[in-house]
Amino acid sequence: MKQAIRHSLLIGALLSVGALADSAPTELHNIRLVARQLYGPGPLPDQKLGAGHVHNMPFVSFMDARVPGTNNGAQPPNVSGEALQGTPVDGKLSDGTLINENIDMGHVLLLQGRFNLLLAAVHGGPNQGNSHFFLDKKLNWTIQDDIAIDPGFAEGIVKIKDFVFTTGPTFVPKSVQTQRGYPGGMDMVGSLRSGDVIAGRIGDDDLDGRLDGVFIALGNFPLEAILLPGAPFVQSIEFVSDIPLHSLDAAMLSLAAARNRLTFIAEHRQLALPSESIRDLVAGAQARLAVAKRHFERMQTGALCEPQCDEARQLAQQVQSLAIADDPDQAQAAIAKLDALTRKLADVHKARTGKEVV
């Protein structure tokens, strides 16, 4: 009987420990938006925007986090755009829509300050106030959420559902009017031109062992908007973070980004890409390859490759011997090698962590 009681108590203790482990809080990470450039909307001049942040990111797998749409009304923390706009600080848009207060995108002034726009990730859409950060199949880091642009009065709010930010290459959008074959579209985005290509980046460029990069956000004001209807806009968002990133994973993301720039050229050649965009994509691919080489160089002088230094040394030789030609046609020859190296590093990631990259 005593043995049975001890056994029962032991099982109970183990179940309690298991329950505690299952309920242990997930480690949360943060992103700082350190440099932001707004192009447009439409013909409006470029301008720099203030700093911002993304807080309380719970990662469920590699590069995959769903930032909850936390909102506690007027209590802090609040997004800075409310106070900067001069409207009540209550965690809501002018029409009462709740803001995701884990994400602070600040505000923007347009037309010499006549429009003071609060920028926010919001509730009320298919993402239910949450913002999903994840790698797409090409290993571009992506954000999907519902956003709003609030001028301070409900009738002027612009809401865009399932809005996507990306670190990969993408086209600068044309006006809604031009996309639909209507006259009168404004096919310019500040200093950018509609149809040009713009790209972000993802990896660890400052070599501090933490994730950093540049997101690109782009879209259009709807035709029913009271301000610049149909006009395209682009925002470039540079960020740093406290998210740890293994050197081999950083090299993988940089090589994937180089591949993605070159494949973008190959995939859209029939559209007669602007020659300047092609040059920028090739130069960007060369820059991404150079960053990957720096990661492998650093791994040779320390234990940054642990526990897979043998695999890292073999891959380092292949990476160091790889070059991307300045001529776009010749540069395409590097795609297969970049793709193979990216896949090998994804296999190395799985061997180290037991999890797929995507």
User: Could you tell me the end-to-end alpha-carbon distance of the chain, in angstroms, rounded to an integer?
Assistant: 52
Report the number of distinct structural domains present in the chain: 2
What is the mean pLDDT of the segment spanning 183-208?
Answer: 96
Phi then psi dihedrals of residue 58, to 5 deg: -95, 110
Domain final residue pick, 181, 215, 244: 244
Q: Containing domain of residue 192, as a range?
A: 23-244
Do both 82 and 43 map to the same domain? yes
What is the mean pLDDT of the segment spanning 117-143?
Answer: 98
Do both 216 and 290 map to the same domain? no
Domain final residue pick, 244, 277, 299: 244
- Cβ atoms of 45 and 78 within 8 Å: the answer is no
**Which amino acid makes up residue 257?**
A
Domain final residue pick, 244, 263, 292: 244
Do both 121 and 223 map to the same domain? yes
Report the helix count and the strand count for the chain, using DSSP H and E.
8, 17
The answer to whether residue 12 sits within a structural domain is no
Confidence band for 22, pLDDT divided at 50, 70 and 90: very low
Alpha helical stretches, state H, the chain: 2-22, 80-85, 176-179, 247-267, 275-300, 309-320, 328-331, 335-353
Do both 279 and 329 map to the same domain? yes
* Between 344 and 20, residue with greater pLDDT: 344
What six digits make up the tokens of 199?
A: 């790209």
The answer to whether residue 8 sits within a structural domain is no
Count CA atoms closer than 13 A to 5's CA, side-chain side: 2
The β-bridge relationship of strands 158-166 and 141-150 is antiparallel
**Which amino acid makes up residue 278?**
I
The answer to whether residue 4 sits within a structural domain is no
What percentage of the chain exceeds 70 in pLDDT?
A: 93
The answer to whether residue 224 sits within a structural domain is yes
**Which amino acid makes up residue 166?**
T
The distance from CA 146 to its chain's CA centroid, rounded to whole angstroms, is: 14
The answer to whether residue 271 sits within a structural domain is yes
Do both 277 and 235 map to the same domain? no
**Which amino acid makes up residue 358?**
V
Do both 227 and 103 map to the same domain? yes
What integer pLDDT is reported at residue 270 of this predicted model? 78
Confidence band for 25, pLDDT divided at 50, 70 and 90: low
Do both 91 and 177 map to the same domain? yes
Residues 6+ apart with CB under 8 A from 94: 87, 150, 151, 152, 153, 154, 156, 157
Do both 164 and 232 map to the same domain? yes
The answer to whether residue 342 sits within a structural domain is yes
**Which amino acid makes up residue 290?**
A
Confidence band for 241, pLDDT divided at 50, 70 and 90: very high
Round to whole Å and give the CA distance between 128 and 250: 31
Do both 212 and 254 map to the same domain? no
Confidence band for 302, pLDDT divided at 50, 70 and 90: confident
The answer to whether residue 169 sits within a structural domain is yes
Do both 178 and 326 map to the same domain? no
Q: Share the mean pLDDT of the chain.
A: 92
What six digits make up the tokens of 346?
A: 């994804």
What integer pLDDT is reported at residue 24 of this predicted model? 42
Query: Which CATH number belongs to the domain containing residue 298 in this structure?
Result: 1.20.120
Confidence band for 19, pLDDT divided at 50, 70 and 90: very low
Do both 190 and 57 map to the same domain? yes
Q: How many Cβ atoms sit within 10 Å of the Cβ of residue 311?
A: 17
The distance from CA 249 to its chain's CA centroid, rounded to whole angstroms, is: 16
- Cβ atoms of 315 and 345 within 8 Å: the answer is yes
Round to whole Å and give the CA distance between 218 and 244: 28
pTM of the model: 0.91
The answer to whether residue 262 sits within a structural domain is yes
Q: Write out pLDDT tens, residues 38-88.
A: 999 999 999 999 999 999 999 999 999 999 999 999 999 999 999 999 999
What is the mean pLDDT of the segment spanning 107-124?
Answer: 95
Residue 2 scores a pLDDT above 60: no
What six digits make up the tokens of 210?
A: 């933490």
DSSP track, 245-300 = --HHHHHHHHHHHHHHHHHHHHHTGGG---HHHHHHHHHHHHHHHHHHHHHHHHHH
Do both 346 and 281 map to the same domain? yes
